[in-house]
Amino acid sequence: MALEFNDGRVTGSSGVAKAGLTLGIIGTGLAALSNGNGLGGILGGGKTAVELENAQLRAEKYTDGATFDLYQQIVATQNMAAAQNNALQVQLYNFMIESEKKAALNDQAQKLNREYDNTVRDYMMTIINNKIDCCQDKVNMQIAFNKEISELSDASIISYVNSNFLSGILKLPASNISPNVQLA
C-alpha cells in the first residue's frame, strides 16, 4: 500500500482502504452466521459447545492437512532443487576436468611443436654446415692446387732464367731469340 503524507496527515490508497473495510464487514457477518442459526447468532442464539468444538477440530484438521501438504510440497521442491543442483555440480566438475585435459593437451602440443621446430632447425643447420664444410674443403683444395701450380711455375721460371742467363750475359743463341733473323 502506498502511503502519502499531506499536510501532516498520512493517507493511503482509497481502493486499499475500501477493500479492507469490505473484507472486514463480510468476515464479521460470516462469523456471526456460523456461530448461530442464521441471524440468530447476532441476536444472541448460538451453537452448542460441542458443535463449536467440532467445528474447531475440523478447522484444525484441515489446517494440519493443508500444512502437511504444503510441507510435502516444500520438501519435494527442495529435493528437486537439490537434485538439479547436484546435476549442475556434476556437469561443472566434468567441464572442469575436460578443460584441464584440454589445457594439458594444449601444453603438450605446444611442447611437441617447440621440439619439432628445434629438431628441424638443428637438422637444417647440420645440412648447411655440411655443405659449407664441403665447399670449404673444395675451396681449400683449389687454393692448395693453385699454390702448387704457382710454386711450380715460379720454380720453373727461376730454373729457366738461372740456366740461360748469367749476370748480365745472354747465353742463348740468336736462333732461339728470333729464328728469322740473318746475321751479316
pLDDT in tens, 33-66: 665 555 544 555 556 777 777 777 777 777 766 7
Record the pTM. Answer: 0.34
In the structure grid, which three cell numbers stand for residue 143, read together?
687454393
Distances (CA, A) of 116 to 3, 43, 123, 127: 77, 105, 10, 16
| Residues 83-97: tens digit of each pLDDT | 999 999 999 999 999
Averaged pLDDT, 67-91: 88
Give the pLDDT mean for 4-31.
63
Give the confidence band of 1 by pLDDT, cuts at 50, 70, 90.
very low
